[in-house]
Structure 1
């Protein structure tokens, strides 16, 4: 893991004032912003690097820790450093609650990436919790600042929303598998460039007309005709992830439930894992029978020794 010179990244001296750091950050952020450099991977990585450097140098506690580390980085690295139980992988972390202190966020101007910080940052600052607050989930007084509605399909695939806060455009990236009522947190520092309360956004998933979600499992009803229920066969269902074929057993009874493993919602904390899809088969009885069909059903009834 390579040592990162945050002062060099922002182009400032080690004794630079906070105002100098802010000014350098603003200039570089405008220059390397993704909107100004579409499809430019190098600019995107540079933009991430700039945000990471500013996150450290604009915070007195992090800056002091970084400065004290200095040339001792190799010793720190060889000793394994100190890693606390906090993950900086996203600009947004999740929790079920919020601080009770109110703040006055109001407006939205440049989009910030939701990509993670470097391994170097995590190794040094993993123990800081400026992005996370321990909240009592049972505290009914706790409430988010905003409620954002998305569809179940968007929750399946993941999506993004462009928000406007304090004159800045903030791109809120929502990972696949997010749950109804889950709360995303945006650091107040990323919004206003200084110490500020975090912004909490509660996700509201709009009920789907045909699909029901329970945890990471999905439930849906599929109609099949009488003949397929009796004789068996295959059928198809259009899911959020695409078209899936499934087998229908011979002599399927109405209400039979089939389980398609791994075809449910993605797990928010483990995108490789998926819930299951449960299909309830609803047998449709034929209508408007032709004389020939009635004759055949009558014959079947006789064979089964059950008079009509």
Structure 2
């Protein structure tokens, strides 16, 4: 099922400010929160949609990629909520009616930082694609080293995964609050608990495999589906395929930066493909049929007798599809007449006999259009 527009989901315009986006998300999240809509799958889908839309639009980089490339620019995918599940949403933003992140977001009494689910770091890789792969789309299998939850302790860092205690210093809040009396009244400050580092828990005995980190570094093969029409420098995002944080939390994302490998014959110009065709003046004078490469394989084209050097031929629809699905470019063939650099005595004799012929003399009154005039006809 095709995804809905993120701005439409939150009910804001494309030039909405971050404050407007935040307010719109709050309103939508409250309206469709599962606690207010029990046993309502449709409301749950809309709740997930809103969370995904806010996750993209609140981030300036992701928002810019979405504005330019649409859903494909921020990881593609389909279905309500994309790669986010309910645990992701509640962990990342908190529960509206109790989670600390949401309480803080809505202006309520925020809970301790240790109560909030942390998110791991993102991974960024470069992926080089051929022009054919860019034009046709491709599925790649990439090798990534990333932190995943420890399979022995289950990710909490404790031996056997059970020896975890509430921090005695902060009583599980993850923060130490101090009250200072000043001339203006009491000032309350909150700092990260030095004992548990803000986690609210302590480990009695560390896991032997991960040494208390709750994660291990492993190499993983990840299939990546690249859509048609991606471009140099474009960044795709795979949610949840980055590193997990220490001792539990949400994995970061895998960011894939596209690089285009130079093609031997073809050059890309936006959605168009350019090919320089070199022919002898005999071929262009008499006319000929030649094969030219395209992104879909070789095709045969006809060169009419008397075709002038610099002429541009167009192969309609032989370019690259737009990533947003609207339209496809063409292949433009730039015709160049090749002049031989060495001639035999016989060839020189023949050309000397022909050079005085009226047909071998250019006629200024019938001269071909300039290169720039010809280009204007195409753009």
In the superposition, the TM-score normalised over structure 1's length comes to 0.52
Alignment length (residue pairs): 207
- Closer/same/farther in 2, CA of residues 85 and 248 from structure 1, 3 Å limit: farther
| Distance in 2 separating the partners of 1:115 and 1:215 | 21
| Residues in 1 aligned to 2:312 and 2:351: alpha-carbon distance in whole angstroms | 27
- Answer yes or no: is 1:176 the counterpart of 2:208: no
Where 1:274 maps in the other structure, the secondary structure is coil
TM superposition score normalised by structure 2: 0.44
CA spacing shift, 1:96–1:238, aligned 2, 3 Å = farther
1:301 and 2:355 matched:
yes
Relative distance call for 1:70 and 1:190 in structure 2 (3 A) is farther
Q: 2:125 aligns with which of 141, 146, 164?
A: 146
- 1:181, distance to aligned residue in structure 2 (A): 0.3
Looking at structure 2, the residues matched to 222 and 254 of structure 1 have their Cα atoms a distance apart, in angstroms, of 10
CA contact (8 A) 1:188 1:194 kept: no
Cα pair 1:263 1:275 within 8 Å, conserved? yes
Task: Flag the 1:299–1:186 CA change in 2: closer, same or farther, 3 A.
Answer: same
Which of these residues, 225, 242, 263, is aligned with residue 208 of structure 1?
263
How far has the Cα of 1:200 moved from its partner? Answer: 1.6
Following TM superposition, by how much is the alpha carbon of 1:266 offset from its aligned partner in structure 2, in angstroms?
A: 2.3
Rate the CA distance shift 1:117–1:255 in 2: closer, same or farther, 3 A: closer
Aligned pair partner of 1:155 in 116, 134, 138: 134
The equivalent position to 2:312 in structure 1, one of 257, 264, 269, is 257
1:265-280 correspondence runs (5 A): 265-270=320-325, 273-280=327-334
Task: Indicate the RMSD between aligned Cα atoms, in angstroms.
Answer: 4.5
Unpaired runs of 5+ residues, structure 2, are: 2-28, 54-58, 64-74, 93-121, 148-217, 362-379
Deviation, structure 1 residue 121 = 6.2
8 A contact 1:96–1:182 mirrored in 2: no
Whole-Å Cα distance in 1 between the matches of residues 60 and 295 of structure 2?
26
SS of 2:336's partner is: strand
> How far off is 1:221 after superposition?
0.6
Cα gap change, 1:67 to 1:83, in 2 (>3 Å): closer
How is 1:44-63 mapped onto 2 (pairs within 5 angstroms)? none
**Structure 2 residue 290 is the aligned partner of structure 1 residue 221:** no
Aligned to 1:267, the other structure's residue is in SS state coil
Structure 1: gaps spanning 5 or more residues: 2-60, 89-94, 100-113, 131-142
Query: CA 1:294/1:281 → structure 2, altered by over 3 Å: closer, same or farther?
Result: same
| Deviation at residue 179 of structure 1 after TM alignment | 0.3
